[in-house]
Amino acid sequence: MSFVRLVFRELRPTLRLAVPISAGHVGQMLMGVADTIMVGHVSTLALAACAFANNVIIVIAVAGFGLLTAVSIRVSNAFGRGDASAMARAFHAGNGLSIAGGLLSVVLVYALFPALHFLGQAPGVVEESRGYLFVVGWSLLPAWLASSARNYLDAQSHPWPSFWIMLGGVLLNVFLNWILIFGHLGAPALGLFGAGLATLLSRILTTAALFWFIYASRWRPLERMILGKLWWAEQAAILRLGIPAGLQLTCEMSTFAGAALLVGLLGAVPLAAHQIAMTCASTTYMFPLGIAMATTVRVAQVLGAGKPQLLRPIAVGAWGLGIILMAGFAVLFLIANNLIASAFVRDPEVIQLAASLLVIAGIFQLMDGTQVVGTGLLRGLHDTKGPMLITVGAYWILALPLGVWLTFSLGMGAQGVWIGLALGLTVASALLVKRFLKRTLNYSGRTRDAAYKV
């Protein structure tokens, strides 16, 4: 079979996985979009506080999500081998780490809050964010448990059940926002705090539904959780894979959070505009992220099945799909930037600045899609340290310092921060593509045992 035909053959199962995974991630992002749009109609200060709180909490949240990608890798690899016991151990170990990490994150949020006043934000932003930040911090525990459950189902090539459950959670969140932010159906109007409370409640109910489905269906783990030697060994294996992945995502997201803090130094209007543009860019990012997670599953499965010759066909199809999608979003941001910004807020000054940032976001869409798919492919190869080091160099050594220089030394304002981010993404995408091609050189013909040495 020719390489091109092999690419299209392998693209079909990747696409079947990627569509519901991407849709599920977009659904989760829509919780943030709903919060941003609804809170934006409360006040510009509330929107700025929402942006500030989300940029603080996302740094903690993605560390857990990144660590739990190891559950997907471990379950996918065991699924490819047909090892049901190993699949169950990975799922149980991921749940244990989710609970421990969720409780630790609550302590961390409470401990960090007094220091947030020293970050130089506009007057009133930090205090306005207080209640929202604390309640969303509590929501990380059910969010991480839900991530573990979704990874377990996705790794078995069954992503649709979790998609429908997560979609229900998004709709519930919007409905609870309507009640709790604005005070409908006899509830008090809680404003920004109501948005956080709606997020917590919807995440708890969504997680409960996911676990009910898993244990009531034929995909339930065939072994019960036993706190023995094998369980602890599985946790150690997940941590070895997951800690670099978590650090990589933390570095990436902390760069964007750092960018928000830099923009926050310019005032509430630039921060509100930054939040609108970042919400849009983060939403489009969910599409290639779903492709990346699908490729992680597929790469780990074919390695487990002893078919490493399929790695490059899977990669070429995934990258092609990601580039096509992100090119479409780039065009949308470039031609409809003002219309998009107007949907979030009424303030003309915020709309004008947000529209200009969306132009820059449109320019870096292709690089963003390429780098996230590359990261997913490398994770499937059990390579999590390499992407972490690339991310640190591209974002912390290049993107942020360059953004600071452009913003404050050259006086480019919020646009300077975004140009720095765009260049960092470009460098990261190039290095990740190069690393994957190097790691998969001369793979055809290797045996299963050789594949495990990746």
Residue 450: which pLDDT band, with cuts at 50, 70 and 90?
A: very low
Tokens 């490398």, located at residue: 378
pLDDT of residue 51: 76
Q: With cut-offs at 50, 70 and 90, classify the pLDDT of residue 119.
A: low
For 187, phi then psi, to 5°, come to: -80, 155
pLDDT higher than threshold 90 for residue 287: no
Do residues 395 and 252 lie in contact, with contact meaning Cβ atoms separated by under 8 Å? yes
More confident residue, 350 or 37: 350
**Can you give the pLDDT at residue 442?**
62
Give the residue from 230, 217, 213 showing the smallest Cα distance to 88.
230
Kindly state the tokens that stand for 73: 């890798």
The segment with the largest mean pLDDT, out of 121-135, 221-235, 384-398, is 384-398
The model's pLDDT over 288-311, given as tens digits with 9 standing for 90+, comes to: 888 998 999 999 888 888 887 888
Q: What is the dihedral of CA 87, 441, 14, 209, to 10 degrees?
A: 30
Phi, psi for residue 228 in degrees, rounded to 5: -120, -165
Q: Look at residue 454 and tell me whether its pLDDT is greater than 50.
A: no
Tell me which of 440 and 452 has the higher pLDDT: 440
**Total count of residues recorded for the chain:** 454
pLDDT of 122 over the 80 cut: no
Tokens 């506080």 label which residue? 49
Least confident of 95-104, 206-215, 225-234: 225-234
Tens of pLDDT, residues 218-267: 888 866 766 677 778 888 889 988 899 888 888 877 787 788 778 878 88
Q: Is 70 exceeded by the pLDDT of residue 64?
A: yes
Give the per-residue pLDDT at 203. Answer: 92
pTM for the full predicted model:
0.78
Mean pLDDT check: name the lowest of 44-58, 177-191, 303-317, 374-388. 44-58
Predicted local confidence at residue 58, as pLDDT:
77
Residue range 318-323: average pLDDT?
91
**Phi, psi at 229, each rounded to 5°:** -60, -40
